[in-house]
Amino acid sequence: MKNNLSIVLLLGIALSTTSCATIFTGTRDKITFNSTPEGAKVIHNGEEKCVTPCTAPISRSLSKQFVTIEKEGFDAQKVKLDKSFNAVTLLNILFGGAIGVGIDAATGSLTKYSTKKYDIELEAKPQ
């Protein structure tokens, strides 16, 4: 009986301290970027992620997120990444995991990127 109580207690602690969205959906989303013309750099938080056409893992965040698409001879374009609520977070609420919700918030996993593909048209700089 004492053993069963310990198992139930440990299971309860484990469920209440998990961060469901972080564990089940990760902290990044793979997003595809295409540009016309091709060969543009995709920059997120000051770090070059890839060169178009490409798919890059972009870290989630609760704050607004932007990528900059730039290519020599063309005007750089700043693109806001679309986000939505990550429904997996509801598992934390259902199981009483306030700590888990906090972890999901800290890792940005309360949200996910809703648009997974961006097509950007770059304009040539005037000469």
Q: pLDDT of 26-78, one tens digit each?
A: 678 899 999 999 999 999 999 999 999 999 999 988 889 999 999 999 999 99
Cα distances (Å, whole numbers) of residue 102 to 19, 27, 39, 49, 122: 8, 14, 39, 28, 39
Q: Where are the beta strands (DSSP E) in the chain?
A: 28-36, 41-44, 47-51, 54-59, 66-70, 77-80, 83-85, 111-113, 117-121
In contact, 64 and 119? CB cutoff 8 Å: no
Q: What is the pTM of this model?
A: 0.75
Q: Is the pLDDT of residue 20 over 70?
A: no
Q: Which residue matches tokens 């259902």?
A: 94
Average pLDDT on 92-103 reads 67
